């Protein structure tokens, strides 16, 4: 059985993904770059949360019975991907700060990968134990 605290942290990370993606979309609509910057900072906070979960060994993985992958392993892989995503987002943020011309393309990739992570964690949290 998945602990409530682990599901809670995964749910909080899902909401941070939603908030960051929403801010970036809103910045594109309103043409305000500071909102996109705020969305990217939120993604960096998500990476810090992911690193905290991974480094504190707060995920206890149960014995594997049959072919089913435990929900804890899926959440662990999600947090690893979220940490890598935060690193990629940091690169995109640095491209913006140094005014490199590929920043918009990297921001499109950040949003695309963020949406994939959002639906990944949504699917994980919706599956029964």
- CB-based contact 120:81 (threshold 8 Å): yes
Query: What is the C-alpha separation between 112 and 108, in angstroms, rounded?
Result: 6
- CB-based contact 35:26 (threshold 8 Å): yes
DSSP-derived secondary structure letter, 56:
T
Beta-carbon neighbour count of residue 129 at 10 Å? 9
**The token pair that represents 7 in the structure block:** 């599901």
pLDDT band at 1 (very low <50, low <70, confident <90, very high): very low
pTM comes to 0.86
pLDDT in tens, 83-126: 999 999 999 888 888 888 888 888 899 999 999 999 999 998 88
- CB-based contact 22:40 (threshold 8 Å): no
pLDDT in tens, 22-43: 999 999 999 888 998 999 999 9
């Amino acid at each position: 059985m998945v602990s409530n605290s682990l599901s809670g942290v995964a749910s909080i990370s899902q909401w941070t993904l939603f908030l960051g993606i929403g801010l970036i979309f809103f910045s594109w609509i309103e043409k305000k770059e500071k909102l996109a910057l705020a969305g990217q900072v939120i993604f960096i906070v998500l990476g810090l949360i992911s690193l905290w979960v991974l480094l504190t060994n707060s995920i206890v993985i149960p014995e594997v019975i049959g072919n089913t992958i435990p929900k804890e392993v899926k959440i662990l892989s999600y947090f690893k991907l979220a940490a890598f995503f935060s690193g990629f987002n940091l690169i995109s943020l640095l491209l913006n700060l140094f005014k490199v011309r590929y920043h918009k393309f990297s921001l499109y990739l950040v949003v695309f990968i963020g949406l994939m992570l959002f639906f990944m964690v949504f699917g994980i949290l919706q599956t029964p134990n």
